[in-house]
Structure formats: C-alpha cells, structure tokens
Structure 1
Amino acid sequence: MKGRETGKEGSQKAANYIEKHFKKYGLQAKGEQGYRQPFIAKVTRTKVADPERPSDNIIGFLDNGAKYTIVIGAHYDHLGLGHIGGSRDSLGVGKIHNGADDNASGVAGLLELARHYATNKEKEAFNMLFIGFGAEELGLLGSKYFTENPTLPLTDIHWMLNMDMIGRYQEANGLAVIGYGTSSAFPKIFEGLSSSIKFNKSKDGNGGSDQTSFYKKNIPVLFFHTGGHDDYHKPTDDAPLIDYKAMEAILKLEIDVLNNSMKQPKMDFIWTN
C-alpha cells in the first residue's frame, strides 16, 4: 500500500481493511461516522505541498453490557515514500517504506485480539474498544484526537493496551512492556504470568506511541514493543523479517494480561513522571 502515508490511497486502503474486519467480527461501530472518526492531520516535520491531510481512526466496540471498557489500539499509518519526514535512510527517500514491523505487526495484533474476543463465545466482565489509529507517525495525532474527542467517556476506561512494533523480537533484549507503573493493579495482574518469550516490565507511561495520549488523560496504559532495529523507518522494514512465532507468544501474553485485568475492579492511575 505504498507505505500507508497519511492522506494517501494506501493509508485509506489500510483503514478500509481494518473496518472490514471489525464488521466481520461483529463489532459495533463506535466512531463519529460509522466506524470512522475523521480528523485532519498536519505534516509539520518537513515542507510538503499538501500539509493538511484527511485521516480516520477506525473504532469498533465489543459491548458486553459492562460499566467499564478496555481500549486496545495500534496505528496503521506509516511513512509512505519518506517525503513526510521521519525516514532514517536519506538515500531511501522516494522508495516505499513498507513498515512491516511499524506498524503492520501491531495492526495484525489488534485484529487478532478483536477476532479472539468477538468469537470466543464468552461474555467478559468488561467491554472492549478496538481502535486503529491514523497519523501516529505525524505526532500521535489520531490518538490525541480520540482522547480530546472520545466516543465514550474517558472515565469509563479501565485501561489502554497499545501495540506498536511487536514483530521483531530479539531474545537478547526481550519484549518491552511499558507502563507497568501506571496503576497499582498491574503487579497483581502480572502475578504468576509466564511466557515462552522473555519480557521486561518498565514503569514509565510516556513513550513514543499512542498510549502516551491516554496516559496524559490519567488512564493506566501498557505499551507492548519489541524494540528498535536497523530497519526502523527505512525501506527495508519488510514482512520476511517478522518473527511470527514470537508475535503469537506476545498475543498469548496479552490475552493473559487482559483476562487478569478483568478480575480487577476499576483500576487506579499512577503518574510515573
């Protein structure tokens, strides 16, 4: 999709793909226009002829009739051909930045969690709101827009799980689980959990992805991330380099975390900075 650049046809195709799957799984539309929450994103990192770009958050709701809701999110945009800034390969500007890890991997996780919870024939104790965020690469713009214009009250959110770059697991580093310090409930939620992959818990709620927008609204967050690599923001971030077995293990861990979080009362928030 030519790098899914915000405002371009490829990004629109990615949004359509997410919407199609939300419909397939029977999620309720929870945007402002059906599943969509349209907004205007602005390119500010570099000068372009068309800095103002249309974008959409794609929002689907699993209604379990509960008082509180867990938000699960991942951004679907990337750098396109690199003309909007952000490319780490000066010779690669003009080449397609596929963004297989950043963040097709996270969107795959988003869709799999939506499929799992929508089809598991169980009625969980919390509702779930699944969001494909637009324009993250332009400064977390989609998640900022949602938290300023929420389609359900922010006070009804139990916590928020974000996936951004979960496709390049490296055993030496392990999986980073960022935001562990943002609620006193997380130690209880993680108690006794194990995984076939190594994971490291980090307290800070801030970070360079969409959970930051929720953290700034006093909502507990976790950000799952397999770390940087040489192909980050380069045309070489391609699908054959993705570790699919590790992604499966990450999603199994996330399901355990989500299920344990549904055994807790409404989670408190802790400011970590």
Structure 2
Amino acid sequence: MIASDLRSGVEQLGEMIAEASAIVPFTGAGISTESGIPDFRSPGGLWTRNRPIPFDEFVANPDARDESWRRRFAMEPTFAAARPGRGHRALASLYKAGKIPAIVTQNIDNLHQMSGFAADHVVELHGNTTYARCIGCGRAYELPWVRQRFDTTGAAPDCADCEEPVKTATISFGQAMPEDAMRRATELAQQCDLFLAIGSSLVVWPAAGFPLLAKNNGARLVIINNEPTEQDDIADLVIRHDIGETLGPFVGN
C-alpha cells in the first residue's frame, strides 16, 4: 500500500513500530544523502562520474589500484565531514529503546555507528570505507598509513606483512560477499516482525533479497525511498518521501 501523503505514511509507520517487537532496518545510500554523501545511481551520483573499478581489475592492475585510492582520498573531506542525519538518529533512538536488535546496511560510511549503534550491531554487507584491509592476510590499516605511503611512493601500498594489495575495507563488484555478515543478515530477516527497507533501490543482489526473505517469513515490510522499487508491490507500506522528513518524528522516541 502506497501512503497517500507524508503525514498518513508517518502515522501508519508509527502504528507499525508501536506494534512490532523486533524491527530490522535495511539501509541503502539514500539515508546518507542528507549527511552530504552522494548516492551511486541518481543523477550526479558517484557512478555517473566514475566507472566502478571491479575487484579483479583492482587485483590485476596497479594503475587501477592507484586510481581507486586517488578516488578515495578525493572523497575524504566528504566522509570526514559527514554526520548522522535524521534517518540515522531515528533508527538509533529505536535501537536504544530496545526495538531494533541490529541493523543491516549496504552503506560504507560508518554513520550508523556514529549515531549510537554498537559496532557489533551494525551488519555491513558492503564493508566500511573508513579503514583499509589487506586482501591477502586481512590485516587492517588506518587510512593515514595508506595516505602517507601513497604520497611518498606515488603508488598504492602493499601489505607490510604479506605484500598483497591493500584496499579500502569495502566490497567491490566481483568480490565475495562477507560470509558472516550475510549469515547474520539472513537470521535477522527471518526473525523480525517488521522490516524497514530505507533508501535502497533494491536492485543489488543478493542484498536486495532480504526484504523478500523477511516478508516470506511473516514480517511486515515497509519501503521508504524517493523512487519506486521492484518490491513495492509486496510491501505493506510504501512511503515515497524524503527519508529525513519521514523518520524525523521518531528521533528521540
């Protein structure tokens, strides 16, 4: 059911939240645009300006690794300045109230952790861009370490332990999805009674399968997104309005 207007949508959402005992939010890039982080597919989004670099290209091509890090460093002021928006803060309020056991996100910006979620309760399907990791042994690196070596040598660094390439701790196209995160997201989707898909186009699989999984296991499904999605027709409620305005009333509740 598509909400006729924002007010009715917020009222219906509030009723569903009040009735739910286990809410699982599933967030995409749309929740972070209010924080100044551009999304990927919309006009002006990141992928309209730069072609994504697939994982196999990153591994095989030093020039691709250099370009990947140049792009990340160019985005550093944007990520460093970003603060949780109303959507993040509203979900954190519900989390602190005991309504949300954990959150599943496609985002890589660390804003859910900044809003008040414990890191262990943020299931990151696509990783995290605020630090780096060796693709060989998995050793974690802080970004200043990477930047210092990149600026000194002019090339993307390799791991100090195993000499394999170091990349942001994100999941690139063609890279295997994190098994633990996928398992936890599956369990959360199966066990919740209200699933909130927020700011996701629901076109990137397998992540886009979680709303359907939750619905098939008896949960009510709410989709909050400015644009239509392919799963709108199975949702119990669809709110096509700004995420901050939609979730703002729940901040502090």
Mark yes or no: TM-score above 0.5. Answer: no
More strand as a share of residues: 1
Tell me which of the two structures has the higher relative contact order, counting C-alpha pairs closer than 8 angstroms and 6 or more residues apart. Answer: 2
Q: Is the radius of gyration larger for structure 1 or structure 2?
A: 2
